[in-house]
Structure 1
């Protein structure tokens, strides 16, 4: 490399204060500038699409949103700047990879270097979630990588850094073939979830998040200049060899790794740790540095090692006779990510920015080469009596912990959890980033997905040691069932998502909620059962073929969601718990039965009869309350205020008055005790109150009995009092032969709520 070329390339990089200055710009989601008021330069910028932020006395501040690609590159650059890399590029640049022809170059979006590491990052982003094939680009990397590394080593001749190529993506799904191609060139994929994970980790740990990053990037590679010798005791516990020792926190931070349950670590399943809590970390840091505090309880770790090579225990010549334990010097692995923190991550990382990270020691119990599932069990046992493990995290752990169980019940638990994880984490899924995985709270819980799958016939029925009934997708093969159920649900829900269009992404929509997933999954189950019953599919039919047969039944469901009104939305949303799930499902069954009456919906008729009976009881109770408390009493009071003692004669229409008087007189002829005689006012019916209201409408009752939102409807007082007519119609139906519909009950509840608020 010529000196001129070296200088040209080195000019692409900045360090120290320049990084901090540029970081302040790159962290923003828009460009910002200011110009003199009225200047030609200002006018030119505004014509280019810049927008005015603030107009000051002599200056105007303007901004322009960064486009999607620049925004993502700046986000990635900013992450590595904040993680303490000391040399970074200003902007994207081209680096030669062929020393014979320096015109052959590779474009680098982000270049991040410290004393030991160089990261080469290519950034690719899309506005909406999409799938891309990077085969051509990765093939180029395969042939260019060696030349790029040689150029970097020539630029920084005094160092021998570890070099890693990263493909960073946003809103892009890459194929398993692309992932395999990355692995072949010792490269790694950072989807946006990984970028966000390290941002989150940085917000909790600060620059100490680098330890976790380096462990991920250079797992198994040697850490230079690490003194790995530790005085220790070797013992046995639970059939395992373990070591007990004290170590400086910084040493353990360098070799340690926390298996956070996060999308960034999904390729390392099973993972089990909660993300570190910033407030708790601050408290621990303050306790250590300001209060000179310490923690006598041990950090629990698992060391992954080839014991013949990088974990060596030198026993001391002076041992306690007949003791099971042995004392000596333990040689820890000098490798990144060789020690997994099972318990005590907050205690350890509390030292990460402490003045005492190299002068204090912390007690450690280190097990060796524990299977990952055994680490999960140990984590669960330790945390059993501490902060409760959330249901979603427990369900997620089951996916890994129980998969290889010989117990069929446990296998099915693992299967349901894996399906939930697949639906929530696969970019091709319509539920991507909408399902609570681990402790990430989202619209749909893994618990609800498990309930839906359990109540469907997809999985059949199992006992611990036998399959009682084969499912439509599960006949004993977990892997096949996992792929089939996942594919079928993803295709079916994607069909609905495409059909309802933007409704799917609206906040608070009626579909992407727990009961929505349950109801639609159960209706899919109904459709699959119908196809099985009619020999249109069987357990050997592929998931794709099952979907192709089912999708015709989804069109009425899509139309229902596209045309659903607020009353029905509120009715479905306000039904909670198990009854709410059932109501959602049964509502979809009713919709589907209108177009496909040949489908047998088990239990639907019985459900409707029960619901209708419950509706009747509630409806007639509300109507009685409306009639007696909010119409009869309120109207009488208003008439008395207006007409005094002659209120009944003057305020009631002649026909109603005469009929009431005759009816009262007829009843009173049969009554001997004068105190028990009937009052004409008590002889009125619900519809009579409407006639009284109409007679005195403008002067007394217009404001009182016009429903909110109907003040300007056409049809005058007749239209505005139609609600009383509708109530009367329902009131007069025979409760033994007529069933109040859910819509009618919602209408009655709405009237009741309105009148009760103004009473």
Structure 2
């Protein structure tokens, strides 16, 4: 018996439109963040009190505008997204209702409904103005199974049987744990949970794939669902490679577009982990389409892996050549959405969409059927190793899946580091949820600063091969004595994620002005590196220096131990002057991350003088103007003395032939002199003569000293040789020439710290100035005070 009467069917259809002109106008209006209204001039005042604004005054009316409410904006954004996906039969307002039972009350208002020749998408939208944890959604899904069954009957009656129906529960700014009972109940009804990640992912697909985005969307919604019951039968060759069976065949693009699915590294595909693919490059896709339409073709194969979860691919062999292990036969492929994971060649496959050759070309395919996700990932990385570089974010994200069960300690630690960052970004109840760029998902923070911060923090040990760096074990949360690696990786990951989230939670809850600032000193890439590194430094201080915690301490105990330090940092950041804040924010380029960290440590040290790690002590010394001035003076005098003594001795040894003796060095000096003259000229300093003897480097002097170590002029017994003049013991004895002049290399490495006064950020440490003083006293004894 029919659920609906004809008049009801007509009323329902009357709330939908497939008029292209009307849809275009609706799309334009829904894309706008304002709603508009034209009223009589006399009514304007009343509307202004209700929050409307005047946009323009016309002759007879005034056009007003008002920002859409957040829930209206979300519904309109979703509607527009489905319009952009190619749906051209949609509801035109928010009054669309769909019956699910015979009782007049058995109706449900539907926020968005999108229909095409194959599918019906029913969407319910829920949103919050600001990000927040959602209250229980239990009531949202009570009776959902019954409603969906009723919706199907209504849709079959209204639009005809055979359409695939998908119910979507869409949210914005609502943190709901995807592992919660409620969401699992939703998924059991074969419905789809669409959150902020899904919205951003679909937007990325639309932006990058244009019309081809529809295929990936259908795969996402109807994965493994049969398109029809007719199998695709094609001739194929079966072969073996790496102990894996594979098939070679040719297939029409329009079939592969529906069968295919790309495992983009995005949170929207988290159920498919590990995922690995990058999004398409729009300009490249456009170029490929033009190339195909102009008659071009690609002779290389698409590489796919057929999912065998719900539908099996069968091969019926017919013959085998006596000269080969390969055999010919018929490959029978289920005609289902998203069963062929595209490992390599997504640009070529999607490039065929919207071309003239989608149905009358065939493209070569190499298909595996039993690759697990890690094997797919390894093939992808191998293929792309020498092609376009995988982004640092995607590469860092993939390390978790590639190396988690590695036999090597260093790569397991790398996987653990990656896993911690991913969980920080994906933990729905954490302050960093969706804030770190993971895979292809854009976010306000990059992956690399967190990775480098963790690497520098000491929270995890460092290793080379299977050997730990003993110094890095001290203070690490990871217990290197636990040889059950998997257990320890899971334990330390859980502990560190909770600990770091508590630290960021302190900023979010007690210092919201810092956490939410547009120029955040914490939620920025440089700030991320500095804050994570500081957390590790404070943890080390409390573990190794004070002994209040150890690697078995709980995250709460660890957080309580360093909380006072973090409060001191944050309270000072809160009241930084505009000048101080701008000074910190303006630090860019090489070494900027480290300078941010040292500034953070200085602020903590200001209130807690006992917190003074060695690296901070050394950094303070490098900022000491008196110490730098002393070091610079010593360095300049040493260099002058070296130059004077080397040139005097070489001239004394070889007389008028001294230049010929060091001609190879002279040629280099002449070249440097010409370059310096050219530079001066281009900088407006005019034409200046530069003596080649002014262009010696420290290494040039060292080469001369080394080559003529014991040479002396004939008949000058009292002549002091280079050995006599420049042998200095720097703690390794004077047993050889190499040891005796080793100080010159170290002196040369320190030279940039005083030769260019602009390099203040590096500077000299107290230990390095003492070294220079020692050298000075050895080779210029007459100048000792």
TM range (shorter): 0.7 to 0.9
Per-residue CA deviations over 1:450-496 (Å, capped at 9, x if unaligned) read: 22212223112445435563764222411121121112111201212
Deviates more, 1:12-21 or 1:330-339: 12-21
Match of 1:280 in 2: 284
- CA separation of 1:539 and 1:65: change in aligned 2, threshold 3 A: same
Match of 1:166 in 2: 168
State whether structure 2 residue 304 is matched by structure 1 residue 301.
yes
- Equivalent-residue separation in structure 2 for 1:620 and 1:508 (angstroms): 37
Match of 2:154 among 151, 156, 160: 151
1:632-671 → structure 2 map (5 Å cutoff): none
- CA separation of 1:224 and 1:415: change in aligned 2, threshold 3 A: same
- Equivalent-residue separation in structure 1 for 2:44 and 2:589 (angstroms): 59
1:471-620 → structure 2 map (5 Å cutoff): 472-475=476-479, 476=485, 477-533=488-544, 534-576=546-588, 579-599=591-611, 601-613=613-625, 616-617=628-629
Deviates more, 1:555-564 or 1:226-235: 226-235
Per-residue CA deviations over 1:602-658 (Å, capped at 9, x if unaligned) read: 44323322331587439999xxxxxxxxxxxxxxxxxxxxxxxxxxxxxxxxxxxxx
Report the alpha carbon displacement of residue 67 of structure 1 after superposing the two structures with TM: 0.7
Per-residue CA deviations over 1:716-742 (Å, capped at 9, x if unaligned) read: xxxxxxxxxxxxxxxxxxxxxxxxxx9
Match of 1:456 in 2: 457
- CA separation of 1:487 and 1:616: change in aligned 2, threshold 3 A: same
Structure 1 unaligned runs (5+)?
Answer: 622-741, 746-759
Preserved CA contact (<8 Å) 2:250 2:362: yes
Preserved CA contact (<8 Å) 1:169 1:191: yes
Match of 1:127 among 126, 129, 153: 129
Report the alpha carbon displacement of residue 228 of structure 1 after superposing the two structures with TM: 1.0
- CA separation of 1:306 and 1:188: change in aligned 2, threshold 3 A: closer
- Equivalent-residue separation in structure 2 for 1:161 and 1:146 (angstroms): 14
Match of 2:247 in 1: 243
Report the alpha carbon displacement of residue 98 of structure 1 after superposing the two structures with TM: 3.1
Query: What secondary structure, in the 3-state scheme, does the structure 2 residue paired with 1:605 have?
Result: helix
Report the alpha carbon displacement of residue 71 of structure 1 after superposing the two structures with TM: 0.5
State whether structure 2 residue 56 is matched by structure 1 residue 54.
yes
Per-residue CA deviations over 1:122-147 (Å, capped at 9, x if unaligned) read: 11111111110312212342453323
Match of 2:189 among 182, 185, 189: 185
Preserved CA contact (<8 Å) 2:305 2:341: yes
Match of 1:70 among 69, 72, 77: 72
- CA separation of 1:312 and 1:490: change in aligned 2, threshold 3 A: same
Match of 2:663 in 1: none
Match of 1:336 in 2: 337
- Equivalent-residue separation in structure 2 for 1:96 and 1:440 (angstroms): 38
Report the alpha carbon displacement of residue 250 of structure 1 after superposing the two structures with TM: 0.5
Match of 1:29 in 2: 33
Match of 1:14 in 2: 17
Match of 1:212 in 2: 216
Preserved CA contact (<8 Å) 1:461 1:471: no
Report the alpha carbon displacement of residue 535 of structure 1 after superposing the two structures with TM: 4.7
Match of 2:406 in 1: 405
Match of 2:376 in 1: 375
Report the alpha carbon displacement of residue 63 of structure 1 after superposing the two structures with TM: 2.0
- CA separation of 1:409 and 1:103: change in aligned 2, threshold 3 A: same
Report the alpha carbon displacement of residue 572 of structure 1 after superposing the two structures with TM: 3.1
- Equivalent-residue separation in structure 2 for 1:306 and 1:220 (angstroms): 8
Per-residue CA deviations over 1:285-333 (Å, capped at 9, x if unaligned) read: 11111x21111111111111269x631112235x433322112221112
- Equivalent-residue separation in structure 2 for 1:7 and 1:257 (angstroms): 38
Preserved CA contact (<8 Å) 1:15 1:88: yes
Query: What secondary structure, in the 3-state scheme, does the structure 2 residue paired with 1:305 have?
Result: coil
Preserved CA contact (<8 Å) 1:229 1:330: yes
Report the alpha carbon displacement of residue 576 of structure 1 after superposing the two structures with TM: 4.8
Report the alpha carbon displacement of residue 258 of structure 1 after superposing the two structures with TM: 0.9
Match of 1:638 in 2: none
- CA separation of 1:566 and 1:145: change in aligned 2, threshold 3 A: same
Preserved CA contact (<8 Å) 1:310 1:333: yes
Structure 2 unaligned runs (5+)?
Answer: 480-484, 634-759, 764-785
- CA separation of 1:572 and 1:86: change in aligned 2, threshold 3 A: closer
- Equivalent-residue separation in structure 2 for 1:609 and 1:173 (angstroms): 47
Match of 1:138 in 2: 141
State whether structure 2 residue 395 is matched by structure 1 residue 394.
yes
- CA separation of 1:464 and 1:121: change in aligned 2, threshold 3 A: same
State whether structure 2 residue 241 is matched by structure 1 residue 230.
no
Report the alpha carbon displacement of residue 380 of structure 1 after superposing the two structures with TM: 1.3
- Equivalent-residue separation in structure 2 for 1:204 and 1:421 (angstroms): 24
Over the aligned positions, Cα root-mean-square deviation in angstroms equals 2.8
Match of 1:656 in 2: none
- Equivalent-residue separation in structure 2 for 1:340 and 1:117 (angstroms): 22
Report the alpha carbon displacement of residue 186 of structure 1 after superposing the two structures with TM: 1.8
Deviates more, 1:612-621 or 1:523-532: 612-621
Give TM-score, length-normalised by structure 1.
0.76
Preserved CA contact (<8 Å) 2:313 2:369: no
Preserved CA contact (<8 Å) 1:572 1:580: no
Preserved CA contact (<8 Å) 2:229 2:334: no
How many residues get paired? Answer: 617
- CA separation of 1:195 and 1:90: change in aligned 2, threshold 3 A: same
Query: What secondary structure, in the 3-state scheme, does the structure 2 residue paired with 1:519 have?
Result: helix
Report the alpha carbon displacement of residue 359 of structure 1 after superposing the two structures with TM: 0.5
- CA separation of 1:444 and 1:90: change in aligned 2, threshold 3 A: closer
Match of 2:201 among 190, 197, 201: 197
- Equivalent-residue separation in structure 2 for 1:419 and 1:16 (angstroms): 50
Match of 2:117 in 1: 115
Report the alpha carbon displacement of residue 231 of structure 1 after superposing the two structures with TM: 1.8
Report the alpha carbon displacement of residue 251 of structure 1 after superposing the two structures with TM: 0.2
Preserved CA contact (<8 Å) 1:305 1:333: no
Match of 1:364 in 2: 365
Report the alpha carbon displacement of residue 227 of structure 1 after superposing the two structures with TM: 5.5
Match of 1:253 among 229, 249, 257: 257
Preserved CA contact (<8 Å) 1:435 1:445: yes
- Equivalent-residue separation in structure 2 for 1:50 and 1:524 (angstroms): 48
- CA separation of 1:424 and 1:229: change in aligned 2, threshold 3 A: same
- CA separation of 1:604 and 1:45: change in aligned 2, threshold 3 A: closer
Deviates more, 1:160-169 or 1:503-512: 503-512
Query: What secondary structure, in the 3-state scheme, does the structure 2 residue paired with 1:385 have?
Result: coil
Deviates more, 1:233-242 or 1:81-90: 81-90
Match of 2:271 in 1: 267
- Equivalent-residue separation in structure 1 for 2:626 and 2:596 (angstroms): 17
Preserved CA contact (<8 Å) 1:461 1:470: no
Preserved CA contact (<8 Å) 2:257 2:350: yes
State whether structure 2 residue 104 is matched by structure 1 residue 106.
no
- CA separation of 1:207 and 1:612: change in aligned 2, threshold 3 A: same
- CA separation of 1:82 and 1:553: change in aligned 2, threshold 3 A: same
Preserved CA contact (<8 Å) 1:298 1:364: yes
Preserved CA contact (<8 Å) 2:475 2:543: no
Preserved CA contact (<8 Å) 2:431 2:505: yes
Match of 1:347 in 2: 348
- Equivalent-residue separation in structure 2 for 1:98 and 1:512 (angstroms): 51
Preserved CA contact (<8 Å) 2:621 2:627: no
Report the alpha carbon displacement of residue 583 of structure 1 after superposing the two structures with TM: 2.9
Give TM-score, length-normalised by structure 2.
0.73
Query: What secondary structure, in the 3-state scheme, does the structure 2 residue paired with 1:436 have?
Result: coil
